[in-house]
Structures are given as structure tokens and as C-alpha cells.
């Protein structure tokens, strides 16, 4: 770590953050980064000199306990401390990530409309202007080189890079698995298939495409393009998301090929961060049709693997309302299969998604209470249930949100596994 005072700025290069993701109730940075400190803010940059975090120093701006994070897709997310106990109850984390785009959040707050948040983003733009003035004066080579790289990564450059990022993988990641919260959504996405099996009527993130696996050649091309995109910042990643919506149906051979080639290509073994993770989605049919050898191969990979299965409902009337072409019996079979996999495989954890909303049939909630109260065989305390709120219609009204949160609390109390809200995040 090296620090340099440059006028009113304090520049710190090559800071070392935490090496392992943990659940904490205070600001914690992971990996390697550099920092510019002003009287009001901490601006933190990845190894490519791209803005990653903006943290306030108070008392007039952002609270020191909260911050803004910019994603690889060039979205800003605001992390609010709020009520630690309340947030952990809802999402399993001590901070709530407020998104700058439309999603399915049950929270009423809109921090991106608040002056302090707008001012923090504007301060980043003002810092760029200040840097232009500073580099016109003599200074030591290291901070000068760093500031020039930061200046090159202005708003337009970051928008252009995000476009290149999405082109590399064949489009935007419309939704990340809820389990990626365990690594603060810091995953490298690799598309192994397009579309999904069902294209359900209720789904807001579907592509509308029929399921189609990618070729091995395309997967290798993506890895090379992503290596160029992440560049010097690759050591700050150790987790992989295999997209899009039902990678499990792509089969064990393709999954193993993609995971192994990504692990080698992204040099996860030499990552600054410990404990590589693999994330992907599955469906009812894909988990029921997958042979045991698929899970055996996943269990041998150098990752801990999370598979998230979209069950949505175990009620026939609700499945019909959702236009999901499945029977309640099949959903129940997939639910039981999840428990078996969690029990059998040490390095695999399967979790489930359900929808919930005020306009669904009452039988939906009856079926959920029945399903969630079932007792799986001992599974090393693995597994979780996620509930995705349907935000259409009057769900923006405070009273309807309150009613739905009440139902969620009842479900959580009756569940024998950890139960959380599913906040749909893109990349």
C-alpha cells in the first residue's frame, strides 16, 4: 500500500481488502483496490482504474456506514444499513441493496431520488474535472499514472465498456441467482445456454427464446473476451455464474466443460479471494431428468456449487394462473429431489424459488405452508427458500405491501429452512 497527498486529495494505491466473503454489519471491501479520499467522500477503484465504490464521510453527505457500488454492467446500487435486524430477516444480509432500475423490491424507499445519493454520483463527475486540473501540475509518477487511468475511465468510457461486456456474453444478464448474495453479486457471467424450457406467462426476465445450449467454441470465445474485459481486475473474482435461465438442463458434460475452462482461463486458483463458487439456475424438469453422474461431476469441481430451482408454486390453480406448464405433483417431486441432493453431496447446495403476491389464489399459500413445513432428511443445514414478490397492479401501494410482508413473515416462521425475499438483480 502506498499513499500520496496530491493537493486536497489523498491517493492510496494497492490497498488490500478482505480475502473471504463474510456477513458483517459494517463497510468491508474485498480484494485489491485503490482509493482517492476527499473531505466528503472515499472513491474506490478496481485494478483497471474504474470507479467501483463511493462511500460518504458525513455529516452532510452519505452516511459513512453506507455506499454506492457500480457493477460490471455499469449500474449503480445503493447499500443501505437501515435496520440491521430487519434487513437480515428479509434478505439474509445486513445491508439492503437498492437498485437504480425497476425491480421487485418490497421496500418503499427510493434513495436514487434523494439529494445525498444524487450528490455523491455528481461528486464522482466533479472529481474527474478536478483530476484534469491536477495532472497538469508536476507530481510523482505513480499517482500521476493512476490519475490518468482514472481520467480515461470517464462516464462515456464506462458505458462503452459495459456494452462490450454484454456483447461478449450475448446480451444482458437479466437476473442473477439469489444465492449470489453470498459473494455480494461479484460473479463473472458465462452463457452456456439461451432461453428456458417454459417461458412462463408471469416471468419478467424471460428472453422468449426456446432453450438452446451454446457450443463449446462459443464458450471458449466468451472466456477470452471476458478475460480482456476484466483485465487486471481478474484476481478480484473467484465466482462464476453459468447463464442464462436453466443451465442445469444443458447437461453435465457442457456444465463441467464450461466450469473447468472458466476456472483455468480466469485463473481462479490464483485469485486474491478464497473459496471459489459456482452459481446457476435449474428448472423442475432439469433437476428431475438429471442423472446422478451429473451431480457427482459437479461435486468434484474446484467450486462450491449453488443451484437455484424455480418451483414457483405447488398449487395447480396458481400454476395455471402463472401459465407455468407443470403439474403440482412434478413440483413436489423436484422439491423432494432437492433435499436428496443437499444431503448426498458435500459441495452442492440446492435452493428454491417461489412467487408470492396478493392476487394469487389463496390455495397457493396453503400449498406453501404445507411444502415448507415438510422435514427433509438431515442435509448439513443446506438449502434455502426464496420468495419473489409479484409487483404488478396495486403492489406499489403501502397497504398491499404490508399485507404481503405479513404473509412472508408467516411463511418464514413456518419454514424449516432459511427463508428470504428474492431481489431480482441484473448484470
Question: Which of 135-144, 229-238, 382-391, 409-418 has the highest mean predicted lDDT (pLDDT)?
Answer: 229-238
Q: In this predicted structure, what is the pLDDT of residue 285?
A: 96
Say how far apart CA 248 and CA 285 lie, in whole Å. Answer: 10
Say how far apart CA 217 and CA 407 lie, in whole Å. Answer: 47
Q: In this predicted structure, what is the pLDDT of residue 209?
A: 74
Q: In this predicted structure, what is the pLDDT of residue 84?
A: 52
Q: Which residue has the higher pLDDT, 110 or 280?
A: 280
C-alpha cell at 369: 405452508
Q: In this predicted structure, what is the pLDDT of residue 380?
A: 61
Residue 64: count other Cβ atoms within 10 Å of its Cβ. Answer: 15
Which pLDDT band, with edges at 50, 70 and 90, does 83 fall under? low
Q: Which residue has the higher pLDDT, 357 or 136?
A: 357
Say how far apart CA 427 and CA 162 lie, in whole Å. Answer: 9
Say how far apart CA 10 and CA 70 lie, in whole Å. Answer: 21
C-alpha cell at 146: 493512476
Q: Where are the domains of the chain?
A: 2-158, 170-421
Which pLDDT tens digit goes with each residue over 11-31?
999 999 999 999 988 899 999
| Mean pLDDT, residues 317-341 | 93
Q: Which residue has the higher pLDDT, 139 or 264?
A: 264
C-alpha atoms less than 13 angstroms from C-alpha of 221 in its C-beta half-sphere: 9
Q: In this predicted structure, what is the pLDDT of residue 286?
A: 96
Q: In this predicted structure, what is the pLDDT of residue 58?
A: 73
Say how far apart CA 198 and CA 376 lie, in whole Å. Answer: 27
Question: Which of 86-95, 102-111, 120-129, 176-185 has the highest mean predicted lDDT (pLDDT)?
Answer: 176-185
Q: In this predicted structure, what is the pLDDT of residue 59?
A: 77
- Whether pLDDT at 283 is above 90: yes
Say how far apart CA 233 and CA 151 lie, in whole Å. Answer: 17
Q: In this predicted structure, what is the pLDDT of residue 395?
A: 54
Residues in the chain, total: 427
Q: In this predicted structure, what is the pLDDT of residue 388?
A: 92
SS3 for 371-401 is HHCCCCCCCCCCCCEEEEECCCHHHHCHHHH
- Whether pLDDT at 205 is above 60: no
As a whole number, the mean pLDDT across the chain is 91
Q: Which residue has the higher pLDDT, 376 or 274?
A: 274
Which pLDDT band, with edges at 50, 70 and 90, does 6 fall under? confident
Which pLDDT tens digit goes with each residue over 351-379?
999 998 888 999 999 999 888 877 665 55
Say how far apart CA 78 and CA 97 lie, in whole Å. Answer: 6
As a CATH number, domain 170-421 is: 3.80.30.20
Say how far apart CA 219 and CA 209 lie, in whole Å. Answer: 19
Q: Which residue has the higher pLDDT, 6 or 293?
A: 293
Closest by CA to 195, choosing from 207, 203, 178, 186, is 207
Which pLDDT band, with edges at 50, 70 and 90, does 267 fall under? very high
| Mean pLDDT, residues 37-59 | 94
Is the torsion defined by CA of 205, 207, 209, 211 positive or negative? Answer: negative
| Mean pLDDT, residues 203-221 | 83
Contacts of 115 (CB under 8 A, 6+ apart): none
Instruction: Quickly tell me which residue has 390453480 as its cell.
Output: 317
Which pLDDT band, with edges at 50, 70 and 90, does 327 fall under? very high
- Whether pLDDT at 243 is above 60: yes
Q: In this predicted structure, what is the pLDDT of residue 208?
A: 62
Say how far apart CA 382 and CA 307 lie, in whole Å. Answer: 12
CB-CB contact of 296 with 255 (8 Å): no
Phi (first) and psi of residue 307, to 5 degrees: -115, 125
Instruction: Quickly tell me which residue has 403440482 as its cell.
Output: 328
Rounded percentage of the chain residues whose pLDDT exceeds 90: 72
Which pLDDT tens digit goes with each residue over 181-204?
999 999 999 999 998 877 665 555
Amino acid at each position: 500500500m502506498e499513499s500520496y497527498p496530491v493537493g486536497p486529495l489523498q491517493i492510496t494505491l494497492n490497498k488490500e481488502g478482505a480475502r473471504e466473503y463474510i456477513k458483517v454489519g459494517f463497510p468491508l471491501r474485498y480484494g485489491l483496490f485503490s482509493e482517492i479520499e476527499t473531505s466528503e467522500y472515499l472513491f474506490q477503484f478496481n485494478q483497471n482504474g474504474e470507479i467501483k465504490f463511493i462511500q460518504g464521510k458525513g455529516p452532510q453527505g452519505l452516511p459513512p456506514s453506507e455506499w454506492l457500488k457500480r457493477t460490471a454492467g455499469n449500474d449503480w446500487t445503493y447499500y443501505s444499513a437501515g435496520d440491521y435486524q430487519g434487513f437480515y430477516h428479509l434478505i439474509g444480509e445486513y445491508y439492503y441493496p437498492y437498485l437504480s432500475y425497476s425491480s421487485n423490491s418490497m421496500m418503499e424507499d427510493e434513495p436514487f431520488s434523494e439529494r445525498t445519493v444524487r450528490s455523491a454520483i455528481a461528486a464522482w463527475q466533479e472529481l474527474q474535472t478536478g483530476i484534469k486540473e491536477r495532472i497538469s501540475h508536476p507530481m510523482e509518477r505513480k499517482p500521476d499514472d493512476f490519475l490518468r487511468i482514472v481520467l480515461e475511465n470517464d462516464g462515456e468510457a464506462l458505458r462503452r465498456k459495459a456494452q462490450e461486456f454484454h456483447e461478449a456474453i450475448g446480451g444482458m444478464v437479466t437476473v442473477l441467482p439469489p444465492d449470489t448474495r453470498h459473494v455480494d453479486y461479484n460473479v463473472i457471467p458465462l452463457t452456456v445456454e439461451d432461453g428456458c424450457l417454459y417461458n412462463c406467462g408471469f416471468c419478467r426476465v424471460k428472453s422468449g427464446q426456446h432453450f438452446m445450449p451454446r457450443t463449446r467454441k462459443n464458450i471458449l470465445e466468451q472466456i477470452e473476451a471476458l478475460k480482456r474485459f476484466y483485465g487486471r481486475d481478474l484476481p478480484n473474482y473467484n465466482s462464476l455464474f453459468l447463464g442464462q435461465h436453466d443451465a442445469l438442463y444443458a447437461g453435465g458434460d457442457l456444465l463441467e466443460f464450461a466450469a473447468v475452462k472458466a476456472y483455468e482461463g480466469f485463473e481462479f486458483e490464483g485469485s486474491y479471494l478464497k473459496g471459489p463458487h459456482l452459481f446457476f439456475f435449474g428448472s423442475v424438469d432439469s433437476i428431475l431428468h438429471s442423472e446422478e453422474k451429473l451431480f457427482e461431476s459437479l461435486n468434484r469441481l474446484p467450486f462450491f456449487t449453488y443451484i437455484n430451482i424455480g418451483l414457483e408454486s405447488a398449487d395447480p390453480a396458481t400454476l395455471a394462473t402463472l401459465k407455468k406448464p407443470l403439474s403440482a405433483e412434478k413440483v413436489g417431486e423436484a422439491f423432494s429431489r432437492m433435499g436428496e441432493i443437499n444431503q448426498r453431496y458435500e459441495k452442492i447446495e440446492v435452493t428454491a424459488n417461489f412467487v408470492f403476491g396478493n392476487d394469487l389464489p389463496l390455495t397457493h399459500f396453503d400449498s406453501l405452508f404445507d411444502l415448507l413445513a415438510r422435514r427433509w432428511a438431515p442435509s448439513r443445514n443446506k438449502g434455502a427458500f426464496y420468495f419473489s414478490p409479484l409487483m404488478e397492479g396495486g403492489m406499489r401501494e403501502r397497504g398491499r405491501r404490508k399485507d404481503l410482508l405479513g404473509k412472508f413473515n408467516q411463511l418464514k416462521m413456518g419454514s424449516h429452512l432459511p427463508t428470504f425475499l428474492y431481489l431480482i438483480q441484473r448484470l
